[in-house]
Amino acid sequence: MKSHWWAMLLRSPRLGPGPLVGLVVILSFCALWLSVPTSSRLSLGTLSLGSGIAAVALMATAALLAARWPWVESFLGGLDRVYAAHKWLGIWALVLACVHFAFKSGHPDWQVLSIVELPSAATRLLRQLSFLALMLIVLLALNRNIPYRVWRWWHKLSGPLFLVVVAHWLSFRSPIVLASPAGVWLAVVSALGVLAAGYKLLLYPFLARHAEYRLVEVSSNGSAVYLQLVPVARAIPFAAGQFAFVSFKHEGLREPHPYTIASAAGADGAIAFMVRSLGDYTARLVQQAQPGLLAEVYAPFGRFQRQADGRQEIWIAGGVGITPFIAWLQDCVEPPAAAVTLFHFTTPGRELPAGIDLAGLCARRGVNLVEVTSGPATPAFREQFAQLVAQAGADRVQINFCGPPGLLEQVRGLMRASGVGEHCLRHELFQFR
């Protein structure tokens, strides 16, 4: 039993958004408390200054996460978790910046100096601009009504705007000197944030793992397409269940978008994606995709890979969330040793493209396919789920989920009703924005 729990711990995300935000905030306040007189540590001035330091550190950490460095992804358990943490880092940075802005950062026992001397008018301007810059970054990041092509270019301003924030803390009169713990902390996180932002803005297209692919086959049903691509020169190694950012070299399709890889890795390096028409860009792609198009593929990302350990596997897919399971099915060389049941939630009229024979794949791999067209509340689904749990035992099931958040909450409720613990659930976050 100990080995089972240890394995589950290793497979889970290593650090979630809440603990990451808390860690950065605690380190920021600890560094400040070590840098100011003991008599002032519990004052409003220290709260204000600590909140400002924490806001800068959170922004720098968000820039670090946005660089898509593989070691960051491994640390947080996948790029989907990185994006979730990135969002909450920005939100809490704005909250703490508001606290910093609301209260005066001062105390009678402090000896204040600025690290970089600027005219007083410039210092005040930087203070106002740093707050406005952070507010603009967070509002742009959270506004889902902005078209992606516009949002993407506006969000590139995050790096230059972070430089304004760094200039503010360097020119602001405070008890912090560079040689103090708070000064060292701010210098290190700011340097890392600027480095990461510069890399993402200027160097990422050249240094990140990517390769050119050619689209060779397109299967469509009008609302979705199954795209099969082959490498032009070299291929990118990947595992079934991971995803990629794809940018087609065609007018109107150049924006890089994330898609789960819908194929297993093969000797020829081919790769496939299923794209459903869900917005302006994907609608254009579904209509305009044709053999011969070239694409830049940045990959691999994500940690949603099959981990068969002999337990009863229950796969649950909602809509386009079927994509990683298609790759898993293709990746199986032989029928699985343990029983696998795939619940496929789909809406009538939104069938899979003709190039995907889901029933045939499941039959060849010995996977029990259950098509659900009436939603998670249907008695047949709930009864079959409960029956699978009862047969295997609540601690002997492994539930793998990919689909919309609403469906995920329904599945969690069904798990609780069946006595299945949260540690039995693996899922990938469905939305990046």
Nearest CA-CA partner of 32 in 2, 54, 14: 54
Residue 17 and residue 148 share a domain? yes
If asked whether residues 382 and 406 sit together in one domain, one would say yes
- Residue 1 domain flag: no
- For the chain, list residues with pLDDT below 70: 1-14, 141, 143-144, 332-338, 430-433
Residue 14 pLDDT: 66
- Rounded-to-integer distance, Cα 163 and Cα 403, Å: 38
Q: Is residue 433 part of a domain?
A: no
How far from 301 is each of 208, 216, 236, 260, 272, CA to CA, in Å? 12, 23, 11, 9, 15
Domain presence at residue 432: no
Range of the domain at 195: 13-207
pLDDT at 83: 86
410/423 same-domain check: yes
Assess if residue 218 is contained within a domain. yes
Do residues 122 and 266 share a domain? Answer: no
Boundary residue ending a domain (161, 192, 207): 207
The pLDDT value recorded for residue 433 is: 52
Are 330 and 201 part of one and the same domain?
no
Q: Domain check: are 257 and 156 in the same one?
A: no
**Residue for token digits 């001397």?**
117
Q: How many CB atoms lie within 10 A of CB 67?
A: 20
Residue 90 vs residues 24, 57, 75, 259: alpha-carbon distances, Å: 12, 10, 19, 24
CATH number for the domain that contains residue 232: 2.40.30.10
**190/95 same-domain check:** yes
Which is it for the CA torsion 260, 263, 265, 268, positive or negative?
negative
Residues 422 and 326 in one domain: yes
3-class state of residue 115 by DSSP:
coil
Same domain, residue pair 223 and 330:
no
C-alpha span between 295 and 64 (Å, rounded)? 27
Alpha helices in 227-378 (DSSP H): 280-288, 323-331, 358-365
61 and 162 part of one domain: yes
Task: Give the end of a domain, one of 176, 207, 238.
Answer: 207
Q: Let me know whether 173 and 227 are in one domain.
A: no
Structural domain includes residue 4: no
pTM: 0.85
Same domain, 156 and 247: no
Strands 294-301, 243-248: parallel, antiparallel or unpaired by DSSP? antiparallel
Is 3 within a domain?
A: no
